[in-house]
Amino acid sequence: MSVIESRMNVDMVWTDEKPEKENTHLIVYYQQEHGFATALAGRALIGEQEPIAKIYSNLMTVNAVNYIPAPFWPEYRLYETYNNKVKDSSY
């Protein structure tokens, strides 16, 4: 069941229930960077996982070349992934 959390101009749509809070690392990449190096590295870390949340805001903009058949969705996507170590260990 999706959960929607709103904070000022930002809406977070959790695809399942909100995850528990824990210490973690955050990896951010920009998909439309020239050369796509960060996007390729980011997608390699994520693999085939589905996002755990989608983040929307009325302050986001979409590039003018956003068109069918492959539109860019105006959202940030939040993924959860772990390395080969135990989930609760620090690395």
pLDDT digit string, tens, across residues 16-26 = 888 788 777 77
Identify the three-state secondary structure at position 37: helix
Rg (CA), the chain: 15
pTM over 0.75: no
Look at residue 91 in the predicted model and tell me its pLDDT: 45
- Reported as half-sphere exposure (CB side, CA atoms, 13 A), residue 38 has a value of 8
Q: How far does the chain reach from its first CA to its final CA, in angstroms?
A: 32
Give the tokens for residue 46. 């994520």
The answer, yes or no, to whether residue 38 has pLDDT greater than 80, is no
Give the C-alpha separation, 6 to 26, whole Å.
21
Tens of pLDDT, residues 45-62: 888 888 888 888 888 877
AA letter at 33: E
* Mean local confidence (pLDDT), 51-77: 79
